[in-house]
Amino acid sequence: MLEIRWHGRAGQGVKTAAYLLAEAAMDTGKYIQAFPEYGAERSGAPIAAFTRIGDEPIRIHYGILTPDVVVVVDESLIGAMDVTAGLKDSGILLVNSSEGPEVYRAKVPTFKGKVATVDATQIALDCIGRPIPNIPIMGALIKVSEIVSLEDLEPRLRHKFSAKFNEQIVEGNVKALKRGYEEVKVL
Amino acid sequence: MKVALETNQLIALAMKQIEPHVVAAYPITPSTEVVQEFSQYVANGDVRTEFVPVESEHSAMSACLAASLSGARVMTATASQGLAFMWEMLHIAAASRAPIVTIVANRALSAPINIHGDHADSMGARDTGWLQLWAETAQEAYDNTIQAIKIAEDPRVRFPMLVNYDGFTTSHAVETVEILEDDQVRNFIGSIPKPQYSLLDTEHPTSFGVLALQDYYMEFRKAQAEAYKNVKDVVLEVADAYAKLTGRKYGILEDYKLDDADVVLVAMNSAAGTAKDTVDALRKEGKKVGVLKIRLFRPFPVEEIREALKNAKAVAVMDRAYTFGGPAGPLFEEVATAMVNQNQKPLLGDFVTGLGGRDITTDEIKQIFDTGYKALEKGAFEPLVNWVGVRE
């Protein structure tokens, strides 16, 4: 079983991303579980979300304590809380940042896994005109982790977003997904 | 067909497939989306349901009661304070034999205000006469919703039913779920059987809400108490029919590795899944442990509990609610009552966990099993009630 923990702020599409990844994995025949951690609901409050993906039905029902992957959708959370708590040594830390991965590698000197960054907020501004970084960071995540392929994720993204948004926003997000996939830097 | 929907959306979809005649509801966290999504189906013309947006849960249950007594298929959804606010009408619905199905995303009660998973709401309804099904997963919540209609409306039953699943942990989670086609659901549940007496049957006028004093009240109550004896058979019949349709088998309880288990954990809702994974891990260390999951909590399956626990040496009951001022948590009290007159009975201990949405983790469940083994050494659970995962 693969466990992905998402850290972000309410309004950044963190829950949507956690669900979307699970849905795309389900399309490839995996068992999935995804859920957010709700506190007091207000825009800008720190939130976490969880995605579990497995070959067998997933029976445990609590927050992810020892993730394989940590995705930090809002870099201002680093330092404000221990986003890497329990992160497996063989795991991945992915941060939405205009900085390179070496900056974050230096912040977690004991961590042995992969560190990656992508400027997801800038990509979102370029592609959809709004600073909602969830989809570009998703592109980066699937590139670094190989959880699902771009070909698996894109149709799910279109399906999910077409129900809610106009074509321009859907196409903007597809473009953002691909840019995140291409522009992620790994160390 | 496999879907990935939040459980609340999934249950709204099940309600669309059921297409009740009447839904009267007042949305409340964490089951809000059930009502919200279902009202969209109504607004879009996907269902012909009469949707009654009321001003409170008390009114919701009152409207459901009148509709049900007129012979309509009726559903609603609530949680926590909402279910508590229905309390007065819950008793009347059960005693009036109104087969209303109410979805409950189980949530803690105030004060302090808490919106998260906890069983205090439905445990508070345990003496109201409502039947109760509980669900470990989103799949079970979906399957129970459909089966509840057929159980509640069966002429041998005709009692209202709560369909429970954990607030947030289940209500706001997406899991892999297999759903039925609309016509499969409708064929399975069929039409609601015509009630013997109907509020709207003007050809055969009948009194409802009657008075019964010292002369007959007790006979009413005894007759009601007797009527629950039919329920388990119907639950099993409906489960068999559902298994034929879906391949998914349900019972009254679910045994998990109980045959040779020395220490058994009794659990309800989502924590039962975590407990099963914990059992697998402990079995690898050679520990003989198992889980007894309660699906049908009302009526309480006394004989089945006795049978399931007959080989156990120590039983740890997990309560996600507490009976303040009482001897232990509510589930413990029920299990202990079932076992009290057995000649051979296991040691029994109560474990209060996960109140107000606190995670119930594998480590905590291991700790509970450890306490069970220690009780075997000492010959008793001391203390009787243990609070797990709480700051002292």
Dump pLDDT digits (tens) for B330-376: 999 999 999 999 999 999 999 999 999 999 999 999 999 999 999 99
- Residue B30: cis peptide before it, omega within 30 degrees of 0: yes
Looking at residue A43, its pLDDT comes to: 79
Amino acid identity, position B181: E
Report field, pTM of the whole predicted structure over 0.90 = yes
Looking at residue A44, its pLDDT comes to: 85
Residue A40 pLDDT level (bands cut at 50, 70, 90) = low
Closest residue in A to B171 (Cα–Cα): A35
Write down the residue that tokens 């989670």 correspond to: B173
Residue B137 pLDDT level (bands cut at 50, 70, 90) = very high
**Chain A / chain B CB contacts < 8 angstroms:** 60
Spatial separation of the C-alpha atoms in residues B291 and B273, rounded to whole Å: 9
Query: Could you tell me the residue ranges of all domains in chain A?
Result: 2-186
Spatial separation of the C-alpha atoms in residues B238 and B192, rounded to whole Å: 14
Q: For residue B79, which of B121, B110, B113 has the smallest C-alpha distance?
A: B121
Instruction: Identify from B176, B277, B360 which residue to disrupt to test chain A contact, counting A C-beta atoms within 10 A and taking the largest count.
Output: B176
Structural domains for chain B? 2-244 (3.40.50.970), 254-387 (3.40.50.920)
How close, in Å, is residue A36 to chain B by CA atoms? Answer: 7
Spatial separation of the C-alpha atoms in residues B189 and B187, rounded to whole Å: 6
DSSP per-residue string spanning B11-42: HHHHHHHH--SEEEE---TTSHHHHHHHHHHH
Spatial separation of the C-alpha atoms in residues B389 and B370, rounded to whole Å: 14
Spatial separation of the C-alpha atoms in residues B392 and B389, rounded to whole Å: 9
Whether A65 and B4 lie within 8 Å, measured CB to CB = no
Does B46 touch chain A if contact means CB atoms closer than 8 Å? Answer: no
Phi, psi of B141, rounded to the nearest 5 degrees: -60, -45
Phi, psi of B391, rounded to the nearest 5 degrees: -75, 140
Q: Which two tokens stand for residue A103?
A: 């900056």
Residue A31 pLDDT level (bands cut at 50, 70, 90) = very high
Indicate whether A79 pLDDT > 90: no
Tell me, what DSSP letter sits at residue A78? B
Spatial separation of the C-alpha atoms in residues B107 and B31, rounded to whole Å: 9
**Rounded mean pLDDT of B372-383?**
98
Summarize pLDDT for A90-148 with one digit per residue, the tens: 999 999 999 999 999 999 888 999 999 999 999 999 999 999 999 999 999 999 999 99
Summarize pLDDT for A49-62 with one digit per residue, the tens: 999 999 999 999 99
Residue A38 pLDDT level (bands cut at 50, 70, 90) = confident
Centre a 10 Å sphere on the Cβ of residue B347 and count the other Cβ atoms it contains.
17
Looking at residue A147, its pLDDT comes to: 96
Whether B176 and A26 lie within 8 Å, measured CB to CB = yes
Centre a 10 Å sphere on the Cβ of residue B54 and count the other Cβ atoms it contains.
16
Question: ipTM score here?
Answer: 0.94
Looking at residue A150, its pLDDT comes to: 97
Q: For residue B292, which of B250, B323, B264, B260 has the smallest C-alpha distance?
A: B264
Summarize pLDDT for B285-311 with one digit per residue, the tens: 999 999 999 999 999 999 999 999 999
Burial of B83 (0-12, 13-18, 19+ CB in 10 A): buried
Q: Which of B136, B174, B271 sits opposite A35 (nearest CB)?
A: B174
Identify the three-state secondary structure at position B359.
coil
List the CATH code of the domain at A2-186. Answer: 3.40.920.10
**Rounded mean pLDDT of B104-114?**
97
How close, in Å, is residue B172 to chain A by CA atoms? Answer: 6
Tell me, what DSSP letter sits at residue A136? H
Spatial separation of the C-alpha atoms in residues A68 and B320, rounded to whole Å: 30
Indicate whether B124 pLDDT > 90: yes
The overall average pLDDT reported for chain B is 97
Spatial separation of the C-alpha atoms in residues B322 and B71, rounded to whole Å: 37
Tell me, what DSSP letter sits at residue B79? -
Summarize pLDDT for B36-77 with one digit per residue, the tens: 999 999 999 999 999 999 999 999 999 999 999 999 999 999
Looking at residue B268, its pLDDT comes to: 98
Spatial separation of the C-alpha atoms in residues A157 and A168, rounded to whole Å: 14
Does B116 touch chain A if contact means CB atoms closer than 8 Å? Answer: yes
**Rounded mean pLDDT of A70-78?**
96
Yes or no: say if B267 and B258 are a contact pair by the CB < 8 Å rule. no
**Rounded mean pLDDT of B131-138?**
98
Looking at residue A41, its pLDDT comes to: 67
Residue B218 pLDDT level (bands cut at 50, 70, 90) = very high
- Residues of chain B with pLDDT > 70, as a percent, come to 100
Q: Which two tokens stand for residue B291?
A: 């889980």
Maximal CA-CA distance, chain B:
69
Does A35 touch chain B if contact means CB atoms closer than 8 Å? Answer: yes
Q: Which of B136, B174, B359 sits opposite A62 (nearest CB)?
A: B359
Identify the three-state secondary structure at position B363.
helix
In chain B, what residues touch A32 (CB-CB under 8 Å)?
Answer: 4, 174-176
DSSP per-residue string spanning A51-71: EEEESS-----S--SS-SEEE
